[in-house]
Amino acid sequence: MLKKSFFGLTQPWLNYEKFLEPPKRIRQIPPPDTVTYFFNTSFEKTTDLKLNIGDLINRGEPIVLKGEPGGTQVGTSTGTVAAIAPYSGDLGRRYTAVTVKVTDKEMRDNGFAACTESPDIESMRAYLSGAPGNPPLDRLVDPEKPIDTIVIDATDNDILIGTRQYVLKTDFPSVIKGIEILRRATDIDRIVMVVPRESFQGYGHIGAEVLAADLKYPAGNPYLIVSNLLKKEIPSGQSFEDIGVCFFSIEAVASLGRAYTEGSVPDNKIITFIDKKGAQSLAAVRVGTPVADVLSAYGVTLNDRDRLIFGGPMTGRAVYDVEHPILANTDAVFVQDRESIPYSSDYPCINCGDCIRVCPVNIPIDMLVRFLEAGLFQEAADQYGLEACIECGLCSYVCVSKIPIFQYIRLGKYELSRERLAEAAND
């Protein structure tokens, strides 16, 4: 799976995981005792709440925190609201976390069933924004950034992960139905599905153009898909939506298809679980389930200085709370034993050039990292391509000095955004 020169003199090659045949059965994680939902608003701004402690939430019922458009999650279990509290996420992200105590008697809300005859974007946003795969439905209605191309991404976003490949190979009728629903609800003409190259054949008339991404990491990175397959360029500092492109994971599209086929909101998320020995397996788990329940189902115990990661080994992000829920976009849970965690250091760059040779967008990373270490974030963006980085993690992987370059870059982008917000507030 992973190969690189012992001396770091040649470019490493990494292949995405290939599940040539999906497993006949995947592990079913039992329904949890509590579920937690994250709302993308800080706790301090949650005034005029429409939700209170003790409120009953049924499975499939929209959970409206304040009532603003797009501010809805949907219950994945029946229960009562036990807590509404702040939650600090990765790189300063601030959420309002709503925790629900699950009751023994499950009741399902049937409101969505009435919406299935005539798909429209507003009912989809109300019921399906938090469905497995996390469909980015809000981005389709932004008048400032009209979308002309939807990309359905069937490539997994890191090595060792097989979640999207599993959906591609086992739930394709739902994907076709989801494509139909997107067309009916949005009138967007161009829908493109990107699949791993070895899966390119056999899709026929599915209502979408099919393109193949290489099996070599990071060919499935959205930025490289836009550049290499769509033949579009993204100006530095802009988003996909700025150029009219919106990405959906294939699981998100399958969720839309299942919802309109079955008349109910799907809530089981497919994840790849990678244990301390690197063994991979697939599991189905309800959105909102604490990751502790997943660890328990696999019999995995976290010891001091073990690492728990949401995502894969190249771009995954550490989680420090076993009560952190499985989110709608959680494709993998990765557990590293403390003895196998690659060390990082504060050794200076030795100018070996490996990071430059491996970078898929040709950033002079050796210079970039020096400016980031010095806190010169705007200069790093202006002179050395900070905002052009696609965050694939290859630079950290090959670094001889074991500098955590990937984390420096992510932190640098975050600090740059804070500086710009502060400047705008002072104008």
Burial class (CB in 10 A: 0-12, 13-18, 19+), 245: buried
Separation of alpha carbons 15 and 30, rounded Å: 32
Residue 185's φ and ψ, nearest 5 degrees, are -85, -25
Separation of alpha carbons 331 and 158, rounded Å: 10
What residues pair up with 248 in beta bridges, in sequence order? 152
| CB 308, CB 271: distance < 8 Å | no
Burial class (CB in 10 A: 0-12, 13-18, 19+), 279: exposed
- Strands 245-249 and 149-153 turn out to be parallel
CATH number of 110-266: 3.40.50
Q: What is the fold of 31-109?
A: OB fold (Dihydrolipoamide Acetyltransferase, E2P) (2.40.50)
Question: Candidates 3.90.180.10, 3.40.50.1970, 3.10.20.90, 3.40.50.300; correct CATH number of 267-340?
Answer: 3.10.20.90
- 91 phi-psi bin (left φ>0, alpha ψ -120 to 50, beta other): left
Domain boundaries, the chain: 31-109, 110-266, 267-340, 344-426
* E strand or H helix at 245: strand 245-249
| pLDDT tens-digit series, residues 61-115 | 999 888 765 567 999 999 999 999 999 888 888 889 999 999 999 999 999 999 9
Residue 84's φ and ψ, nearest 5 degrees, are -130, 115
Segment 414-421 long-range contacts (CB within 8 Å, at least 24 positions apart)? 414/91, 414/92, 415/375, 415/377, 416/377, 416/378, 416/380, 416/381, 416/386, 416/387, 418/92, 419/377, 419/378
Quote the pLDDT of residue 46: 67
| CB 56, CB 315: distance < 8 Å | no
pTM over 0.85: yes
Name the residue among 141, 142, 163 with its Cα closest to residue 252.
Answer: 163
- 52 phi-psi bin (left φ>0, alpha ψ -120 to 50, beta other): beta
Separation of alpha carbons 48 and 225, rounded Å: 42
Give me the architecture of the 344-426 domain, per CATH. Answer: Orthogonal Bundle (1.10)
| CB 314, CB 397: distance < 8 Å | yes
Residue tagged 């023994």 (tokens): 104
Q: Report in angstroms the alpha-carbon separations of 134 from 58, 213, 374.
A: 20, 22, 37
Quote the pLDDT of residue 3: 35
Quote the pLDDT of residue 202: 66
Looking at the chain, the whole-number percentage of residues with pLDDT higher than 70 is 93
The whole-chain average pLDDT of the chain stands at 90
Separation of alpha carbons 230 and 220, rounded Å: 12
Q: What is the largest CA-CA distance in the chain?
A: 63
Quote the pLDDT of residue 345: 75
Q: How confident is the model at residue 200 (pLDDT cuts 50, 70, 90)?
A: low
